[in-house]
Amino acid sequence: MKITLIGAGNVATHLALALKIAGHEIDAVVSRTSLSANKLADRLNNTMQADGTCTGVCNDSALTKAFTIEDFKGNDSDIFLISVKDDAVRELAQRLVPLAPNALWVHTAGSLPMDIIEAEHVGVFYPMQTFSIDKHVDMTKVSLFIESKTCEEELLELARSITEHVYRLDSEGRRHLHLAAVFACNFANHCFALSETLLKEQGLPFKVMLPLIDETADKAHAMSPIDGQTGPAVRGDEGIMDSQLELLADKPIYAEIYRLMSKSIQTLSNNNR
Amino acid sequence: MKITLIGAGNVATHLALALKIAGHEIDAVVSRTSLSANKLADRLNNTMQADGTCTGVCNDSALTKAFTIEDFKGNDSDIFLISVKDDAVRELAQRLVPLAPNALWVHTAGSLPMDIIEAEHVGVFYPMQTFSIDKHVDMTKVSLFIESKTCEEELLELARSITEHVYRLDSEGRRHLHLAAVFACNFANHCFALSETLLKEQGLPFKVMLPLIDETADKAHAMSPIDGQTGPAVRGDEGIMDSQLELLADKPIYAEIYRLMSKSIQTLSNNNR
């Protein structure tokens, strides 16, 4: 399948690399700034031309072809993957879809419904992962969620060429999934970050915490996190909880989080009995 | 070094196995119930006798020796490792220390000060890890924190025979460390648990979340969690946050956590700029 990527940020970059490894032809990377396009182009080791506002990166061929909004019509990709900031997807699609109305138009956002793109053939291709531009991610292990009314098979095939963890999920289900991911990833990472801050104050390097963090993640493979909960709250150890809250006396947000999380741990544990 | 373990719970079990692997002689495991002593004895593949209330497990020798409080004096261990529930340490030590007053008495609790044990030679041997009895833990990767006034070298040596991640830390520092561990492990795991509950409601298996959880932990090795924060809160994406809070309308604790964590993520991000 011939693919054009719209976007050159974290998700677009990791997807582009994974798609290339899977043997797909990436016709072009279209990006808002030549800087980000350059960066992804470097990564894909390809030639690239920029026109300042909209940059086309030609890939896997000797051709060097500059895309601008004006000559976008010349693009014969089967799939256009829109992987930009969530709040830019709708407007960008409105502007670009008319330039290739028969292609399959797909976005990669967990939090957006499929119909945010208006086109004959639309879909969603959501790799549920936390991407940072300079951190390698093994895409073969990513959970990938796809949705499409008219082109489900094509998207399933594309997804399965990257990872074996492919799921069909509609927009409403994906909305809940994305919320669950915010808890499991963003909020868990914030717990690490608060821990990092507490360690720093004691002059302790964050690396002392890594074996514990690794085991906490590893344990989620072996048992349900609900069942595997440990710590003073689930034991109902009021003595330690009071003593730890004392240490947070000058950190009201930390103390509030401590109280709320402890309460929630106890509630979930009681519900689960 | 000859060691007697007081306790046969999660921490005691994992420590006993690690100490045995490191080649130490475990004279005995003393436990409150014969059930838990039996279980650890099975694991250590040793003979064992029980007297109903206090059980001695002989290890690494052909000897089979029953310990009771009464014959505890016969024990010639160099180190007594007390690895029981936090609130039982003080009383247990008061009862047992007089029976071997010249030995080194050590507890394994992150949250307790060293002087909770009254003895000539006292210390702390705190493996900072989350232990579940049936989940294997690679103890060579555990961060181990030790403290002792009179026997620091012995404890350092013992700790280094198990893991290379050994640190000296006094009681006050350990108190803060333990608090940091509650955030990084117990609260992070609770975020996984809340995520699990949200997925269940959608009929999605928890395993879809595992690649994301793995990467969140893995990323903490590559960059500071403060710098590596992702998600709607750190991006200031109010649209997605409002939309996700809508999904939590009938879950007040989840909504409260969502709001508080998002606020804290933004506060930490602003402080860090």
DSSP A94-115: HHHGGGSTTSEEEE--SSS-GG
Mind telling me how many Å the CA of A190 is from chain B's nearest CA?
7
Q: For residue B140, what is the nearest residue in chain A, using CA coordinates?
A: A211
Backbone angles phi, psi at A194, to 5 degrees: -65, -40
Q: How far is Cα B237 from Cα B198, in angstroms, rounded to an integer?
A: 21
Interchain contact, A228 vs B189, CB within 8 Å: yes
Is a pLDDT exceeding 90 seen at residue A59? no
| pLDDT at res. B74 | 61
Are the C-beta atoms of residues B132 and A230 closer than 8 Å to each other? Answer: yes
pLDDT, greater one: A38 or B16: B16
Check residue A57 and give its pLDDT: 47
For residue A158, give how far its alpha carbon lies from the nearest alpha carbon of chain B (Å). 19
Comparing alpha-carbon positions, the chain B residue that sits nearest to A182 is B231
B9 — pLDDT class (breaks 50, 70, 90): confident
Q: Which range (A105-114, A223-232, B69-78) has the least confidence?
A: B69-78
Low-confidence winner among A47-51, B66-70, B149-153 (lowest mean pLDDT): A47-51
pLDDT of the residue at B167:
97
Integer CA distances (angstroms), B268 to A35, A190, A206, A254, B122, in order: 29, 9, 16, 11, 39
Closest-approach residue (CA) in chain B for A131: B230
Q: Residue A11: is its pLDDT beyond 80?
A: yes
- The per-residue pLDDT of chain A, averaged, comes to 86
For residue B128, is pLDDT > 60?
Answer: yes
- B201's enclosing H/E stretch is helix B188-201
Lowest mean pLDDT among A106-115, B73-82, B93-102, B261-270: B73-82
Q: Which of B131, B210, B257 sits opposite A220 (nearest CB)?
A: B210
For residue B21, the model assigns a pLDDT of: 85
Tokens of B89: 């340490």
Provide the strand spans (E) within chain B: 2-6, 25-30, 48-49, 56-57, 79-82, 104-107, 121-128, 143-148, 166-168
> Would you state the structure tokens that stand for residue A88, as one six-digit string?
């830019």
Task: Quickly state the pLDDT bin for A134 (edges 50, 70, 90).
Answer: confident
Q: How far is CA A260 from the centre of its chain?
A: 28
Tokens of B170: 């006094």
What is the C-alpha separation between A69 and B126, in angstroms, rounded?
62
Looking at per-residue confidence, does B27 or A100 come out higher?
A: A100
Closest listed residue to residue B35, CA positions, set B18, B19, B52, B60: B52
pLDDT the model gives residue B40: 73
Inform me whether the pLDDT recorded for A72 exceeds 70.
no
d(CA A122, CA A19): 19
Q: For position B23, what pLDDT does the model report?
A: 82
For residue B203, give the chain A residue with the closest CA.
A173
Of the listed ranges A5-9, A35-39, B161-165, B246-250, the least confidently predicted one is: A35-39
Whole-number mean pLDDT of chain B?
86
- Nearest by CB to residue A212, choosing from B181, B191, B231, is B181
Is residue A16 a contact partner of residue A7, using CB atoms and an 8 Å limit?
Answer: no
Instruction: For residue A53, name the pLDDT band (cuts at 50, 70, 90).
Output: very low
Q: Minimum mean pLDDT among A32-41, B3-12, B45-54, B196-205: which range?
A: B45-54
What mean pLDDT do residues A237-254 have? Answer: 96
Section A118-143 average pLDDT:
91
- Tell me the average pLDDT across B29-35: 72
Q: In the predicted model, what is the mean pLDDT of residues B137-151?
A: 95
pTM: 0.87
Per-residue pLDDT, averaged over A40-69, amounts to 43
pLDDT of A56 strictly over 60 = no
Q: Which residues contact A203 (CB under 8 A, 6 or more apart)?
A: none
The residue-averaged pLDDT of A242-260 equals: 97
How much is the ipTM here? 0.87
**B44: alpha, beta or left, given left = phi > 0 and alpha = psi -120 to 50?**
alpha
Per-residue DSSP letter, B204: -
Rounded distance, CA B59 to CA B118, Å?
27
CB contact under 8 A, B212 and A176: no
pLDDT in the model for residue B258: 98
B196 contacts in chain A (CB < 8 Å): 180, 224-226
For B177, the enclosing helix (H) or strand (E) is helix B171-181
Of B211, B240, B258, the CB nearest to A142: B211
Of the pLDDT bands very low, low, confident and very high (cuts 50, 70, 90), residue A129 is: very high
What is the Cα–Cα distance from A185 to A163, expressed in whole angstroms?
20
Task: Check whether A118 has a pLDDT greater than 80.
Answer: yes
List the single residue in A167, A194, A201 with the smallest CB-CB distance to B183: A194
Shortest CA distance to A105 belongs to which of A148, A44, A75, A138?
A: A148
Question: What's the burial of A226, exposed, middle or buried (CB within 10 Å: 0-12/13-18/19+)?
Answer: buried
If you search the block for the tokens 């053939």, which residue do you land on?
A: A121
Output the DSSP codes for chain A: -EEEEE--SHHHHHHHHHHHHTT-EEEEEEBSSHHHHHHHHHHHT--EE--SSSBEE--SSS------TTTGGG---SEEEE-S-GGGHHHHHHHHGGGSTTSEEEE--SSS-GGGS-SSEEEEEEEE----TTS---GGG-EEEEEESS-HHHHHHHHHTT-S-EEE--HHHHHHHHHHHIIIIIIHHHHHHHHHHHHHHTT--GGGGHHHHHHHHHHHHHS-TTTT--SHHHHT-HHHHHHHHHHTTT-HHHHHHHHHHHHHHHHHHHHT-
